[in-house]
A = this chain, B = another copy of it.
Amino acid sequence: MKTLHVELGDRRYPIHIGPGLLGHAELLRPHIAGRQALVVSNTTVAPLYLEPVRAALDGLRHEAVILPDGEQYKTLETLNTVFTALLNHRFDRHCTVIALGGGVIGDLAGLAAACYQRGVPFIQIPTTLLAQVDSSVGGKTAVNHPLGKNMIGAFYQPQCVLADTDTLATLPDRELSAGLAEVIKYGLIRDLPFLEWLERHLEALLARDATALSEAIERSCRNKAEIVAADERETGERALLNLGHTFGHAIETGVGYGEWLHGEAVAAGTVMAADLSARLGWLSQECVERVYALLTRARLPLKPPPTLTSGDFLRLMAVDKKIKDGQLRLILLRALGQGVIACDVDARQLHETLDHALTHP
Contact = CB atoms under 8 A, between A and B. Distances in A.
Contacts of A230: none
Given A76-B80, A325-B35, A119 B88 contact: no
A144 B35 CA distance: 25
Q: Taking the full assembly, how many copies of this chain does it contain?
A: 2
A148 B34 CA distance: 21
A313 B140 CA distance: 38
A321 interface: yes
A147 interface: yes
B321 A147 contact: no
Contact of A87 (B79, B115, B117, B148): B148
B84 A114 contact: no
A94 interface: yes
A151 interface: yes
Interface residues of A, number: 39
A92 interface: yes
Nearest to A93: B321
Interface in A48-97: 76, 79-80, 83-84, 87-88, 90, 92-94
Nearest to A111: B115
A255 interface: no
A319 B80 contact: no
A153 interface: yes
Given A76-B76, A145-B83, A145-B84, A94 B324 contact: yes
A348 interface: no
29 contacts: A34-B324, A35-B325, A76-B76, A83-B145, A83-B151, A83-B152, A87-B148, A87-B151, A87-B319, A90-B318, A92-B323, A92-B326, A93-B321, A93-B323, A93-B324, A114-B154, A115-B152, A115-B153, A116-B151, A117-B151, A117-B153, A117-B321, A118-B140, A118-B142, A118-B155, A118-B321, A119-B155, A119-B233, A154-B154
Given A92-B319, A115-B153, A119-B154, 5 more contacts: A90-B318, A92-B326, A93-B323, A115-B115, A116-B151
